[in-house]
Amino acid sequence: MQTNTLFRHQVLNAQQQRIKGEVLLRPRLSFIALTLCLFVWLAAAVYWLTSGNYTYTQSVSGWLEPPSGVTHVYSPQPGAIVDEILVTENALVEAGTPLVRLRRDTIFSQNLHAGELQTAEIQRQLERLQARRTLTAQNHQQQLAQLTASLRSLAADQQQLQSMKALHAKKLALAAKQKSALEVLVADGHASEYQLSDIQSQWLNEHYQHEQLARELLKNAAEQQSVRFNLSATQQQQALAELDIDNQISEQQNRLNQHLSTQDILVVAPARGRVSQLQVNTGQATHSSLPLLSLMPENATVEAKLLIPVAAAGFIEPGQSLQVRYDAFPYTQFGTQEAVITQLSAHLLLPQEIAQTPFQAEQPVYLATATLSSHHIRFANNDIALRAGMTFAAEIQIRERNLLQWLFEPLYVLHGGVL
């Protein structure tokens, strides 16, 4: 007969079975192995955190450039049209060698060039001025010849009048002598008064003619003086007229030269170098911000130029190494190349100051110079030369920190600590 209880009888029977003594629980071998692995991993992690370092790197961009720099050649007249390219890529040129001929012109309807029309008009004005100068010179020469002939004629008349005056002087002296002799005869009664009056009339007539000749000589001298004055005045007028025309010709020639200088521009090499980066084509318009071409020094080595952000400039110093990855040579195939920083600019460069570099920056940067470990890239047992203008990216190690410090950096920052 079973009694009714709250628990099952199996439970009650189990409670009645007591184990005498202490119970020792032995862990399984798998648990021991797992625990040892955890302790070893923890010890290794602590050792790695305390002995390992974390390196902060800064990615920068740069380009290759000769130590003496690159000479960029710009158009002196922005907007001019490239009329002719006189050099080829990689050509070696001397200072003063013509590089590019530019044309600044406007085309009207019917394909008429404004510059050519203006040039033709100025040349026609020069031709008219030259013709005017020739006609003016001929006119003055005719006037001078006429005045010179008049002066010679007056001189001949003067000689003739002087000869006639000399003859009349003799006749006047003879008439005076006859008059004196007749006056003596009349006084002695040997001649009549009528004869004396006739002789006196002849003497007066000769004396009048002599005075007339003297007056003609004075008139001739006055006319010669007037002709000489006109001759001198004509020569001065000729000189002034020719000077005025020459001034007009000079003004038109200067105008033509100025017009041609603005219409046809010959760009020459400012220094000796090798042509590179020839960026223009015939018929293309030039811009003030884009160079026509660049001149590289002959047989010059290259060095790296890097743009360092302001935030990383304080950790950069000469002697630091960096790994360069060239854009022209994928680093997955060609690898990286080591370089060493040799110089860091002492002042900031504003964005507009680096506008002529291959890169554009929105913030001020510092310019660093680095020396390359090699000027060639080795690939498939061949050496590929590095060229100026090649761009690259580089990683610079700016500082190292302990991994434990790096792990707990947020806590240090919250408490104002500096790691």
Residue 152 shares a structural domain with residue 229: yes
Q: Can you spell out the DSSP letters for 21-46? A: S---PPPPHHHHHHHHHHHHHHHHHH
Residue 245 lies in a domain: yes
| Section 375-394 average pLDDT | 83
Contact assessment for residue 356 and residue 32, using Cβ atoms and an 8 Å cutoff: no
Residue 320 shares a structural domain with residue 395: yes
> Which residue, of 263, 280, 309, is where some domain finishes?
263
Residue 240 shares a structural domain with residue 360: no
Number of domains the chain contains: 2
pLDDT of residue 191: 61
Residue 315 shares a structural domain with residue 182: no
Residue 91 lies in a domain: no
pLDDT in tens, 90-146: 888 888 899 998 877 655 545 556 666 777 788 888 888 888 888 888 888 888 888
> Which residue, of 242, 263, 284, is where some domain finishes?
263
Residue 225 lies in a domain: yes
Which position has the higher pLDDT, 346 or 379?
346
pLDDT in tens, 259-301: 766 667 888 898 888 888 888 888 888 887 788 888 888 777 8
| CATH number, position 232 | 1.10.287
**Model confidence band, residue 52 (pLDDT cutoffs 50, 70, 90):** low
Q: How far apart are CA 157 and CA 216, in angstroms?
A: 9
Q: How many CA atoms lie within 13 A of 283 on its CB side?
A: 0
Residue 251 lies in a domain: yes
Q: How far apart are CA 145 and CA 143, in angstroms?
A: 5
pLDDT in tens, 210-242: 777 778 888 878 888 888 888 888 788 888 888
Residue 118 shares a structural domain with residue 247: yes
Q: Which residues pair with 273 in a beta bridge?
A: 93
For residue 175, is pLDDT > 60? yes
Residue 310 shares a structural domain with residue 193: no
Residue 235 shares a structural domain with residue 152: yes
| CATH number, position 379 | 2.40.30.170
> Which residue, of 206, 235, 263, is where some domain finishes?
263
**Model confidence band, residue 148 (pLDDT cutoffs 50, 70, 90):** confident
Residue 158 shares a structural domain with residue 236: yes
Residue 163 lies in a domain: yes
Residue 95 lies in a domain: no
**Is this structure's pTM higher than 0.85?**
no
Residue 258 shares a structural domain with residue 308: no
Q: Can you spell out the DSSP letters for 301-365? A: --EEEEEEEHHHHTT--TT-EEEEEETTS-HHHH--EEEEEEEE-SS-B-GGGGTTSSS--SS-E
Closest CA relative to residue 169, chosen from 200, 214, 102: 214
Residue 222 shares a structural domain with residue 174: yes
For residue 307, is pLDDT > 80? yes
**Model confidence band, residue 370 (pLDDT cutoffs 50, 70, 90):** very high
pLDDT in tens, 1-35: 455 556 566 666 666 655 566 666 677 777 878 88
For residue 305, is pLDDT > 80? yes
| Section 403-409 average pLDDT | 67
The residue segments making up the domain with residue 232 are 114-263
Residue 241 lies in a domain: yes
Which position has the higher pLDDT, 167 or 126?
126
Q: How far apart are CA 39 and CA 182, in angstroms?
A: 181
Which position has the higher pLDDT, 46 or 102?
102
Residue 224 shares a structural domain with residue 333: no
Residue 43 lies in a domain: no
Residue 140 shares a structural domain with residue 237: yes
Average confidence score pLDDT of the chain: 78
